[in-house]
Amino acid sequence: MIKRINLVHFALVFCSTLVFSLYAQSTGKEAFQAKCASCHSIGSGDLIGPDLKDLSKRREIKWILGFIQDPGKYLDNDKIGKELLVKYKMKMPNLGISANEAKDLAAYIDTQSGGNSKKIDVVVPTGDAINGKKLFLGKVRLEKGGVACISCHSVAGEGKLGGGTLGPNLTDIFKRSGTSLALTLKSLPFPTMKGIFDKKPLVEKEVNDLYAYFSTIKPVKPGNHQANFIYIGLGGFIIVMMIFAFVWRNRLRDVRRKLVEGEK
């Protein structure tokens, strides 16, 4: 009787553990695809961020969970975090990942590091690069009413003032991301972008066209548009002063004439 109870107890514990493990892998996979796959792979090399294969062999679990939940803290204050920032030159945003979700992600990464892992399969979009460029520059409005990419981002050689500086320069985004860029455009997982595009997402054609445009950009060194902005501002100031001088050119002459006549 006791042996039977122990056997039942063991079976329940085993099944519960198995179910929990499968659930963690399932939710971890969903979270990875939605929030991580656009910048990371598990076993297929670096993308925008590092390859996460065998992460648990390189970092302590406490560090992994802490970094996933608050990357900025580690990138600013942790020695390893600072080294990663220097190497990859892009600061991972805080994606609002909960403690439980972080555990699921860590478990999924650990499971996928077993040797059979691959990059998330991505269907390579086929789009119109010319229209994608127009979408980026704001010459064609986004269907759902979102803001043009150039409002926050820049691409070398595009835009007289070089575009916005809130987001990173995207000149070599395709070189760094490869086909995973399609996932980024579909999900736009970054907090600032989610605030803008949550209710105004890109439609499939816009994703395809932007992907096609980014894939055609030649990775050249970005120009110094900040200096251009200063020069344009200085030139505009000089032109305004010249206009004022022309409009008021007779004002002092009239004042002097009255003063001279008054002295007489």
Terminal CA-CA length for the chain = 131
Q: In this predicted structure, what is the pLDDT of residue 180?
A: 80
pLDDT digits (tens, 9 = 90+) for 150-164: 998 989 888 666 788
Parts of the chain with a pLDDT under 50? 1, 3-24, 117
Torsion angle defined by CA atoms of residues 202, 208, 209 and 212, in that order, rounded to the nearest 10 degrees: 140
Comparing C-alpha atoms, which of 196, 194, 199 is closest to residue 184? 194
Are 197 and 188 contacting, i.e. CB atoms less than 8 angstroms apart? Answer: yes
Q: In this predicted structure, what is the pLDDT of residue 11?
A: 41
R_g of the chain, CA atoms, integer Å = 28
Q: In this predicted structure, what is the pLDDT of residue 91?
A: 84
Q: Can you say whether the dihedral through the CA atoms of 208, 211, 215, 216 is positive or negative?
A: positive
Q: In this predicted structure, what is the pLDDT of residue 254?
A: 59
This prediction has a pTM of 0.60
